[in-house]
Structure 1
Amino acid sequence: MAHDIVFFLAPDDESAAATRRQGPGPAFESVTCRFIEPDSAIAEWDMYFEEPAAELPPIEQLLAWPWPEWVTAPLNDGVEVFALPPRLIQALADATSVELEELADRWTARLRSADGDEMTDDDLLAVLQAVSRLAASAVTTGGGLYSWSF
């Protein structure tokens, strides 16, 4: 099932966890996209930067990849708050425009293979560019990068 997702900058896990009920809201610098699975997106991005390749790895490789950690315990209400791994935050902060374009193409191919015509209408390169800017802010401020979804 796909989600609406907000990637946001927060000073720490406690602040990120406090967004659980209402979402990040205007108090946090963020970027929103729709109909994306946050945990698989984060794993896909992490896998790309750890093992760069333009071609789409098999789904089995993605499923075997370490998935992001919960910031809050999962409940039965559909809300998820994940922390992006520090190495991914750094990789996104340092990413070149070519890397972001290649990752966007690969991510688009993954989503299209899973969702077909039901794929998000968001510009995935624009999403990655915005998340990359948030990652750079996280590195500069010492904060973290998180996802909130419902």
Structure 2
Amino acid sequence: MAHDIVFFLAPDDESAAATRRRGPGQAFDSVNCHFKEPDSAIAEWDMYFAEPSAEIPPIEQLLAWPWPEWVTAPLNDGVEVFALPPRLIRALADATSVELEELADRWTARLWSADGDEMADDDLLAVLQGVSRLAASAVTTGGGLYSWSF
């Protein structure tokens, strides 16, 4: 089952944590999408920029990768708020269109191998381009980049 996911720009962790109950809404610049697990996507993206390759690494390598930090403690309501690591924010901000295309292809392959027909309906390249734009703003403003999902 896909989650509603919002990647958003916020000035700090406290502001991001305040979105927990109702989501970022219109208060923050954001990109909306739908797929299963934002934390695994963030780890996949981070791994790509640390170790670029068009091929998807084995799932064991992804599972051993450092996962994003919670901004708020997890509860049983299904809401998750994660902070993207600063190195990933910088990498996304500096990413070329070729890198984003390769990452989108790799991410699509990962989702397809895990979820098959249940994969996201979103244009994953467009999602990455939007998140890259948010990352560039985060670098410029000194803010952070976060994901909120339900």
TM (norm. structure 2) is: 0.99
- Consecutive aligned runs of 4 or more in structure 1 exceeding 4 Å deviation: none
Are the counterparts in 1 of residues 2 and 120 from structure 2 also a CA contact under 8 Å? no
Are the counterparts in 1 of residues 11 and 144 from structure 2 also a CA contact under 8 Å? yes
**Identity fraction in percent:** 91
| CA shift digits 1:3-39 (9 cap, x unpaired) | 1100000000000000000000001000000123110
d(CA) in 2 for partners of 1:92 and 1:35? 19
Match of 1:130 in 2: 130
1:149 aligns with 2:132: no
Q: Which moved more, 1:35-44 or 1:92-101?
A: 35-44
| CA shift digits 1:54-85 (9 cap, x unpaired) | 10100000000000000000000000000000
| CA shift digits 1:72-109 (9 cap, x unpaired) | 00000000000000000000000000000000000000
| CA shift digits 1:103-141 (9 cap, x unpaired) | 000000000001101101100000000000000000000
Q: In the TM superposition, what are the counterparts of 1:2-41 in structure 2 within 5 Å?
A: 2-41=2-41
Give the 3-state SS of the residue equivalent to 1:128 in structure 2.
Answer: helix
d(CA) in 1 for partners of 2:38 and 2:148? 8
d(CA) in 1 for partners of 2:88 and 2:115? 25
The size of the alignment, in residue pairs, is 150
TM (norm. structure 1) is: 0.99
d(CA) in 2 for partners of 1:4 and 1:18? 18
Are the counterparts in 1 of residues 39 and 68 from structure 2 also a CA contact under 8 Å? yes
d(CA) in 1 for partners of 2:31 and 2:93? 15
Q: In the TM superposition, what are the counterparts of 1:11-90 in structure 2 within 5 Å?
A: 11-90=11-90
d(CA) in 1 for partners of 2:36 and 2:2? 5
d(CA) in 2 for partners of 1:36 and 1:144? 23
Backbone CA RMSD of aligned residues? 0.7
